[in-house]
Amino acid sequence: MKNEKNIFKRKDGSIFYLIVFVILFVVLIARAFVGEKTDVGLVQNPEAATVKAPIELSFSDVLRRSGEIKTMEIKKGDMAVGKLKDGTPYKATIAYNPELLERFSKSGTAVSIDNTDSFMDSVAKWLPIVVGALFLFWLLRLMRGGGNGGITRSLIGQNPTKITTGKTKTTFKDVAGIDTEKQELMEVVDFLKNKEKFKALGARVPRGILLSGEPGTGKTLLARAVAGEANVPFFATSGSDFSGIIVGLGVAKIKEIFELAKRNAPCILFIDEIDAIGQSRSKHSFNDNDREQTLNQLLIEMDGFSNATGIIVIAATNRPDMLDNALLRPGRFDRQIHIDFPNLDGRRDILDLHAKKFKIDEKVNMMDVARGTTGFSGADLENLLNEAALHAVRSNHKSIEQSDIEEARDKILMGPKKNQKMRPEDIKLTAYHEAGHAFVSMHYADVTDPIHKATIIPRGRALGMVQHLPIDNKVSMTFDEVRANLSVSLAGRASEEIFFGENKITTGAESDIASATRIARYAITTAGLSKKIGMVAINQANTFGQKMALENASEKTAQIVDDEIRSWLDVAYKDAKNLVAKNKSTVEKIAKQLLERETLTGDEIREIVFGKKKTVVKKSSRKTNAKK
């Protein structure tokens, strides 16, 4: 409703012209309506009932009855009205001809010509011309920069920048999990607070900072925190705001926002999704000249202001590889900061930060939550707690419990629970499938991540899963870990074959096979763990979804890679089958417990396998989900 109230307070003249056009439309409708009433000749009151309606005469009737016509008034050249000698009014359409008029005059007809326009006709003729002239005057005035914002503001309807101040907004205390990135930006804060310290040493603070990273990692939040820490104005816009249907509009907007920043320096100018206007220029991009002109203007503005102005440009993008090289050179975006997904400690800090906004039970272990959210961004973690809060409300809990967070995490990773009824044989096969994953994971507990839980509750496309939680940060895998993870991934299919036979295996191992193939291909073609291939990087190229040959490899090498991947998976599958076959009774115990209880914790599975609870301590780990 706010916009509806303010629409009549605009000073660019657009409301005035809207009203004029509405009046023009009403006038044209009224003209047609009035003309229609005149032609019909209806009786308006009883006193006028004796007045005869005019009769319609054709041109031939007028010529034939010329001696009977008493008066004739010609309007606009072809319309004739008048009365016959017996007093009957008439109207007719004639062909205007001076000789014809002379013939009527000789027969005793009083002929008159009226070429004047009615009021409605005059309005309909001149009003469009006047309105068009006023519109052109308004447009030219805006192009000269009038109207408090010029054509940029008037045609778009609003100023594209959003101004906030750093006094009451986000600070570095509101940003967690990216301590290294915050340290990189502290120099900018120090410069905005104390420029003289930098000038004394002759240091030049970066004019522009490019923040890159996956969505939700905190790029915009970090930019706001810089402005908040420095206590300076914050101007925010996005790359898409500089594009429009009017050619040259982007250039005008770039000029406007930089002029606004200069008037309020020192300040932070933030451009989100800068790849919308900063894509690399190409000699083949003939149809995108307007975007290139906008980019050129941005390059000029960033290179035009001096370092003493105090304007720091911060931009964010998910695709830094798409940006033009001229935009990334020193003097424009001097510093590039990549914000990665938070590690284990970072996730714990982010969870603790967001937990302040929720009512969480004291028994909730945030470190366990952090361990189970590998690959989550800061936004994902906030959403996790919000989903947990919603589940707690639905469950009538007084606070968010561990079970609420578990349910929220499973929902985000796997999807909501399925309510469809499954066949008993499918449920049984799923239980043995997951039991195979769980047992082989326990067998390789010294090199794989500890099991968090196993469940046969269907979610999304998965009928069940075995979930692992890392206990520390890991940046790589050993050869033994790769082999063990391959066996764990294929253990579900191995269990199906051992307990139900070769003819009863199902398609449920689809995601397991895909995961194992991905790990094996990475280890062989990128990590150099294959003796046959050696330490050669052979990257798989999949451009625009098309399957292409292996890069840096001949057809013979590509065939060797395929054979080696198949060999690794065959060895892993054989290993998993042997382990399940030798321990059928233990695997069957796990499966029966899953059928009875649907979900087993890691400690419960350890007790079944080892006969008692066993604490596993490992030096390195990685999260692996074995899904059916």
What amino acid positions are annotated as catalytic residues?
Answer: 434
Q: Terminal CA-to-CA distance of the chain, rounded, Å?
A: 51
Angle ∠(390,394,400) on CA atoms, nearest 5: 55
Phi-psi domain of 523 (left: phi exceeds 0; alpha: psi -120 through 50; beta: other)? alpha
The type of residue at 612 is K
CA-to-CA dists, residue 210 to 234, 370, 492, 495, 599, angstroms? 16, 28, 45, 51, 46
- Please provide residue 217's backbone torsions phi and psi, each rounded to the nearest 5 degrees: -85, -5
The type of residue at 20 is V
Phi-psi domain of 287 (left: phi exceeds 0; alpha: psi -120 through 50; beta: other)? alpha
Kindly give the pairing relationship between strand 335-339 and strand 599-601.
Answer: unpaired
Is residue 554 packed enough to be buried (19+ CB in 10 Å), middle (13-18) or exposed (0-12)? exposed
Tokens of 415: 């999807």
506 within 8 A of 432, measured Cβ to Cβ: no
257 within 8 A of 269, measured Cβ to Cβ: yes
CB atoms near residue 506 (< 10 Å) = 16
Residue with tokens 């309506």: 33
318 within 8 A of 200, measured Cβ to Cβ: no
